[in-house]
Amino acid sequence: MKTGDYNLRLLFLADIFNRQTDEHHTYSAVELVSLLNDYGIECERKTIYRDIDSLKEYGMDIVNARTPVRGYYLRNRKFSVPEVRLLIDAVQAAKFISEKNTKSLIYKIGGLVSEYQEEELREQVYIDGSVKTDNEDLYETIRLLDKAIKSQKQVQIRYARRSIENKYLVRNEGKTFIVNPYAMLWSNDHYYLICNNDKYANLMHLRLDRIVEITELETKAKHFSKVSQYKDKFDIADYSNKLFNMFSGEEESVTLSCSNSILDEIIEKFGDDVPIKTDGDSRFRIKANVEMSEGLVNWILQYGADIKVIIPKSLSRAVKEKAQQILEIYE
């Protein structure tokens, strides 16, 4: 027997155990011979026994069951059914993955268990396309950004903006600028690029699903120590905690009047579903449930006159008092 034939038979046999067996679906040695014959591979029953021993020695947990069904099957895989369920649920819930890419990724994840287990998992999958991005280029965006971060190179991107009227992406009118990329972060159901706009000296975060064009540049990226408090290592956990988890307190309904110029920032903070109404020609209003805290007060103050608290009065007073304290320092 040729070595190539032996290797090919083992590969086919391993695939049969991975995809076609579990504790409720087993095969006898005779049935395995028949399956391999269907693939054009001839062998005998005693050959199957030797091959199973080889696969077990390689690390596959193949057992010869007596109950509930007699026969050989793969008992343990790298991923259990509950673990695959969690992966599928995570992909299903991720708003930044398009409906098309979600279906493709779930199909690939399903290959981690037997086809019978996969079928049972698929029956429980529901994909709500209404909350999914329509950006099909996310994978390429991630690939290019990962490459740029590792090589410490700048990238030029075009970032889709929002319109106040319907909050939908306006792709052809997005902003184009050069950024220095430092990290990618998944937080609050969105995937972000943490970076620096090369024109400024501070950090910013951009949603990956709103990057509609990206071009690799050969210019060296600005080091993060020049635009942040981090010196030797960019601390993603610390940045995330300060930026995305700064509100902690009693939840209350808040109404804000905001300048049109910060629409993107408001939607990033409160989500795509936040109700928006026009408030004159240059402003809009939002209503959202937020946790009251000093962090919320500080967040509002950073926007100066671009945000005015309408409701509740207690938050409005807190912002005024903090602003007065700042003013007194300069008097």
d(CA 232, CA 100): 40
What is the bridge-based pairing of β-strands 307-311 and 204-207?
A: unpaired
CATH node for 3-76: 1.10.10.10
How many other C-beta atoms can be found within 10 angstroms of the C-beta atom of residue 47?
19
pLDDT of residue 195: 92
b/e burial code for range 277-304 (CB count within 10 A of at least 16 → b)? eebeeebbbbebebebeeebbebbeebe
What is the CA angle 275-160-256, rounded to 5? 25
**pTM for the full predicted model:** 0.68
Rg of the chain over all Cα atoms, to the nearest angstrom: 28
CA dist., res. 251 & res. 76, Å (int): 45
Asked if 292 and 250 count as a contact pair (C-beta separation under 8 A), the reply is yes
251-329 adopts what CATH topology? Alpha-Beta Plaits (3.30.70)
Cis peptide before 275, with omega less than 30 degrees from 0?
no
* pLDDT score for 170: 56
Amino acid 28: pLDDT: 95
Average pLDDT across the chain, whole number: 87
CA atoms of 158 and 180, how far apart (whole Å): 14
Task: For residue 267, count other CB atoms closer than 10 A to its CB.
Answer: 18
The parts of the chain modelled with pLDDT lower than 50 are 1
* 35/40 Cα distance (integer angstroms): 9
How is the chain split into domains, by residue range?
Answer: 3-76, 81-131, 138-244, 251-329
C-alpha span between 225 and 234 (Å, rounded): 8
> Is there a shared CATH topology between the 3-76 domain and the 251-329 domain?
no
3-state helix, strand, coil in the chain (%, to 5): 45, 25, 30
Tokens at residue 28, please? 């006898």
Strands (E), 169-210: 169-187, 190-197, 204-207
DSSP H/E element including 295: helix 294-301
Answer positive or negative: Cα dihedral of 166, 171, 176, 177: positive
Q: Which residue type does 115 have?
A: E
Residues 6+ apart with CB under 8 A from 59: none
Q: Taking a C-beta distance cutoff of 8 angstroms, is the pair 14, 54 a contact?
A: no
Query: Which of the 8 DSSP states describes residue 46?
Result: H
Chain center to CA of 312: 34
Distance CA 321, CA 327 (A): 10
For residue 251 the two structure tokens come to 């939840």
Q: What is the pLDDT of residue 117?
A: 93
